[in-house]
Amino acid sequence: MSNKENKQDISPVFKKCYAFNDANEAKQAGLYPFFKPIQRNSGTKVYIDGRELMMAGSNNYLGLANDIRLKEAAESVVEQYGTSCSGSRFMNGTLDLHEQLEVELAEFVGKEAALCYTTGYQTNLGAISAVLDKGDHVISDKYNHASIMDAIFLTTGMKRNITLHRYKHNNMEELERILKRIPKNTGKLIVTDGVFSMEGDLAELVKMRELADTYKAGIYLDEAHALGVVGKTGRGTCEHYGDNSLADLLMCTFSKSFGSIGGFISGSAEIIDYIKHTSRPLIFSASMPPANIAAARKALEIIKEEPERVHRLQEIAKKMISGFKSIGFNVGTAVTPIVPLIIGNNEKTFLFWKSLYERGIYVNPVISPGVPPKRSLIRTSFMSIHKDDELDWFLEVAEQEGKKLGII
Q: Which residues bind ligand PLP (CB under 6 A)?
A: 119-121, 124, 145, 147, 193, 197, 222, 224-225, 253, 255, 263
Minimum distance from residue 289 beta carbon to ligand PLP (Å): 14
Minimum distance from residue 254 beta carbon to ligand PLP (Å): 7
Tell me which residue of 80, 110, 95, 107 sits closest to 242, measured CA to CA: 110
- Number of Cβ within 10 Å of residue 188's Cβ equals 22
CB of 292 or CB of 398, closer to ligand PLP: 292
Query: Distance between CA 189 and CA 218 in Å, rounded?
Result: 5
Minimum distance from residue 218 beta carbon to ligand PLP (Å): 18
Query: Distance between CA 188 and CA 364 in Å, rounded?
Result: 35
DSSP 191-244: EEESB-TTT--B--HHHHHHHHHHHT-EEEEE-TTTTTTSSTTS--HHHHHT-T
Minimum distance from residue 261 beta carbon to ligand PLP (Å): 6
Minimum distance from residue 403 beta carbon to ligand PLP (Å): 31
CB of 281 or CB of 402, closer to ligand PLP: 281
Minimum distance from residue 203 beta carbon to ligand PLP (Å): 11
CB of 257 or CB of 323, closer to ligand PLP: 257
CB of 255 or CB of 376, closer to ligand PLP: 255
Residues for the chain: how many in total? 408
CB of 56 or CB of 351, closer to ligand PLP: 56
- β-strand partners of 253: 263
CA distances from 123 to 127, 218, 263, 283 (A): 6, 17, 6, 12
CB of 279 or CB of 402, closer to ligand PLP: 279
| Strands 137-141, 338-342: pairing kind | unpaired
Residues 6+ apart with CB under 8 A from 225: 59, 61, 193, 194, 195, 196, 197, 200, 256, 336, 338
Minimum distance from residue 395 beta carbon to ligand PLP (Å): 25
Minimum distance from residue 346 beta carbon to ligand PLP (Å): 21
SS3 (DSSP) at 259? coil
For Cα atoms 173, 253, 248, give the angle at the middle one, nearest 5 degrees: 45
Minimum distance from residue 179 beta carbon to ligand PLP (Å): 23
CB of 236 or CB of 263, closer to ligand PLP: 263
Tell me which residue of 337, 318, 323 sits closest to 228, measured CA to CA: 337
Query: By Cβ distance, which residue is nearest to ligand PLP?
Result: 120
Query: Distance between CA 188 and CA 214 in Å, rounded?
Result: 12
CB of 124 or CB of 266, closer to ligand PLP: 124
Please say whether the beta carbons of 85 and 286 come within 8 A: yes
DSSP 263-297: EEEEE-HHHHHHHHHH-HHHHTSBPPPHHHHHHHH
CB of 20 or CB of 35, closer to ligand PLP: 35
Minimum distance from residue 256 beta carbon to ligand PLP (Å): 7
Please say whether the beta carbons of 123 and 222 come within 8 A: no
CB of 354 or CB of 364, closer to ligand PLP: 364
